[in-house]
């Protein structure tokens, strides 16, 4: 049975979705909001899933205490309140809900944009005070102005669409976006300095990272046009608030619209908030009824998917892929994991190096995730470790265990249609003898997906066609008559049925590999007896799971 803790308030629709799922995967939900830190530390070990908004701090201490935790879902975009590196080390999936509040956040930014142009906030305050100060609130038009967008993700892109409808010319800076994408949206991608130099309005939509902290500071303001207007509905801390205040006082910045601040709640006496040309809001970007319902449902569905062993599209500590891309990639990830398990089982000694080669139609994020799946397979079948390994922590665990991993991709077509995955692993020591089957250091394992099903197609250059599942006996030997019959007879004497057999060889009488898919596992005593059969050499038992 799975247990999920909801420690911050979320919309009822999200809770309903969790409870509906509980009927299928035996899941219970506890809603305990406003927990003090000490209380959270006492109870978090009881839960497999945790859903938070911004109030609960999922620190490294909380993660250490959460011995059963498998997934943390943030009902919102930012994960500033979750120690993602600590969760990754423990193999805990961290997910956010980036699409649920896209429109709400975009509309908030655009509202602030309009408010800085027309001084609506100040005019409203004046009217409520009984004044009619028309001359004080002369504004500017958006039409014909250049909008600089810093961060061209979902929200920045949606903002550009609305700005274009108002006759603005959007330009943007985002080091992770291709110019072709921007051009398709009608946006000119340029450098950060050019955004500062050209823009009449600037809207910030970057995440808060060490490299973006105080990115907009005194030096940045000096590069901007006199009278520029600034909007930040992304994350506090990206703008140096002291520098912004000085730029407002000097007139370099004509107005600012701020929904987020470096320290929240903001000091009531903040001179920045009180400045007459600042329109401020208490972090309302996602505060719409529609957005809260969407993020609650998205968080609930992500938790259910993670607990159900499915891939989660919005995991922040895994390469980001769409639901459609993950569905297409799923059999290849299964294949990569099985190849990793097989490589560990058949290698001569601990694996020290692995090269993961993806050949065919593959994107960088696909290759990265496939490599992580292969590392998971390589590591999870090693003995001597009691910590779980999964896609989330496979990379960091590989580093800690001294496994050297390289990743290569090529779009050149391989022997099979679609994508071929190859693992080249280095283990053991090179041969010093003349025996053709003396253990060697390098092993090559190839696989592909045929009709939606993973298949192993080559073992160290010997062609085979094997479904990577269940129990197997694998023997490398010199090709000779009667081998299969002798092994089959021996297995029959133990009451073990052979479900499938595959043989690959280079040439008649040369090196060969025999793979027997069997219905039951074999124990060590059986392995010793089977290994005594004339011609059977380097016999290995392999368990690849479902």
β-strands 188-189, 351-359 pairing: unpaired
How many beta carbons lie within 10 A of that of residue 346, not counting itself?
A: 20
Residues 528, 429 contacting (CB under 8 angstroms): no
Comparing C-alpha atoms, which of 147, 212, 203 is closest to residue 175?
212
Q: Can you read off the two tokens belonging to residue 408?
A: 């290569």
For residue 540, the cross-strand partners are 474
How many beta carbons lie within 10 A of that of residue 534, not counting itself?
A: 9
Residues 201, 168 contacting (CB under 8 angstroms): yes
Which residues are annotated as catalytic? 235, 264, 283
Residue 9 burial (10 A CB sphere; 0-12, 13-18, 19+): middle
Report the distance separating Cα 418 and Cα 420, nearest Å: 7
Report the distance separating Cα 495 and Cα 388, nearest Å: 33
Residue 213 burial (10 A CB sphere; 0-12, 13-18, 19+): middle
Report the distance separating Cα 376 and Cα 309, nearest Å: 14
Residues 530, 501 contacting (CB under 8 angstroms): no
CA atoms within 13 A on the CB side of 318: 29
Residues 149, 96 contacting (CB under 8 angstroms): no
How many beta carbons lie within 10 A of that of residue 111, not counting itself?
A: 18
Residues 307, 48 contacting (CB under 8 angstroms): yes
Residues 74, 299 contacting (CB under 8 angstroms): yes
Residues 425, 445 contacting (CB under 8 angstroms): yes
| Residue position matching structure tokens 């250490």 | 64
Q: What is the DSSP letter of 315?
A: B
Report the distance separating Cα 104 and Cα 113, nearest Å: 14
Q: Can you read off the two tokens belonging to residue 247?
A: 């730029």
Report the distance separating Cα 168 and Cα 456, nearest Å: 55
| Phi and psi at residue 195, to the nearest 5° | -60, -45
Residues 164, 182 contacting (CB under 8 angstroms): no
Give me the DSSP letters along 442-482: EEEEEEEEETTEEEEEEETTEEEEE---SEEEEEEEE--TT
Radius of gyration of the chain (CA): 30
């Amino acid at each position: 049975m799975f247990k999920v803790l909801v420690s911050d308030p979320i919309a009822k629709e999200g809770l309903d979705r969790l409870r509906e799922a509980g009927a299928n995967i035996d899941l219970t939900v506890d809603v305990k909001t406003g927990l003090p830190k000490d209380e959270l530390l006492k109870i978090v070990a009881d839960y497999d899933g945790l859903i938070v908004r911004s109030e609960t701090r999922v620190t490294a201490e909380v993660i250490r205490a959460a011995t059963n935790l498998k997934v943390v879902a943030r009902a919102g975009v930012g994960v500033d309140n979750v120690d993602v590196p600590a969760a990754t080390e423990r193999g805990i999936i961290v997910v956010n809900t980036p699409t649920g509040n896209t429109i709400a956040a975009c509309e908030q930014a655009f509202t602030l944009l309009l408010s800085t142009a027309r001084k609506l906030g100040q005019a409203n305050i004046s009217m409520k005070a009984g004044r009619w100060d028309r001359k004080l609130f002369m504004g500017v038009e958006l039409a014909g102005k250049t909008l600089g967008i810093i961060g061209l993700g979902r929200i920045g892109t949606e903002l550009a669409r609305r700005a274009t409808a108002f006759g603005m010319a959007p330009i943007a800076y985002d080091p992770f976006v291709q110019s072709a994408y921007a051009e398709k949206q009608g946006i000119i991608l340029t450098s950060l300095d050019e955004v500062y130099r050209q823009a009449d309005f600037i809207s910030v939509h970057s995440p808060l990272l060490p490299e973006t902290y105080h990115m907009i500071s005194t030096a940045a303001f000096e590069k901007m046009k006199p009278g520029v207007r600034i909007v930040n509905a992304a994350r506090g801390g990206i703008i140096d608030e002291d520098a912004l205040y000085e730029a407002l006082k000097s007139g370099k910045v004509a107005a600012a619209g701020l929904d987020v601040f470096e320290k929240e709640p903001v000091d009531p006496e903040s001179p920045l908030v009180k400045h007459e040309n600042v329109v401020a809001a208490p972090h309302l970007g996602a505060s719409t009824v529609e957005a809260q319902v969407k993020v609650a449902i998205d968080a609930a569905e992500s938790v259910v998917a993670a607990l159900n062993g499915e891939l989660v599209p919005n995991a922040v500590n895994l390469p980001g892929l769409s639901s459609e891309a993950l569905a297409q990639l799923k059999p290849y990830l299964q294949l990569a994991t099985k190849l990793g398990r097989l490589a560990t089982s058949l290698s001569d000694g601990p694996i020290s190096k692995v090269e993961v080669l993806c050949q065919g139609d593959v994107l960088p994020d696909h290759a990265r995730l496939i490599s992580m799946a292969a590392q998971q397979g390589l590591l999870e079948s090693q003995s001597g470790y009691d910590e779980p390994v999964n896609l989330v922590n496979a990379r960091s665990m590989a580093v800690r265990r001294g496994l050297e991993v390289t990743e290569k991709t090529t779009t050149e077509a391989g022997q099979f249609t679609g994508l071929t995955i190859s693992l080249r692993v280095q283990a053991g020591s090179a041969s010093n003898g003349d025996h053709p089957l003396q253990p060697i250091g390098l092993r090559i394992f190839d696989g592909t997906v045929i009709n939606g099903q993973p298949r192993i197609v080559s073992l160290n250059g010997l062609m085979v066609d094997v479904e990577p599942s269940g129990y197997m006996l694998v023997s490398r030997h010199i090709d000779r008559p009667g081998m299969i019959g002798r092994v089959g007879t021996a297995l029959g004497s133990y009451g073990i049925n052979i479900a499938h057999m595959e043989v690959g060889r280079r040439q008649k009488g040369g090196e060969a590999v025999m793979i027997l898919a069997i219905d039951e596992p074999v124990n060590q005593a059986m392995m010793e007896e089977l290994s005594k059969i004339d011609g059977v050499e380097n016999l290995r038992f392999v368990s690849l799971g479902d």
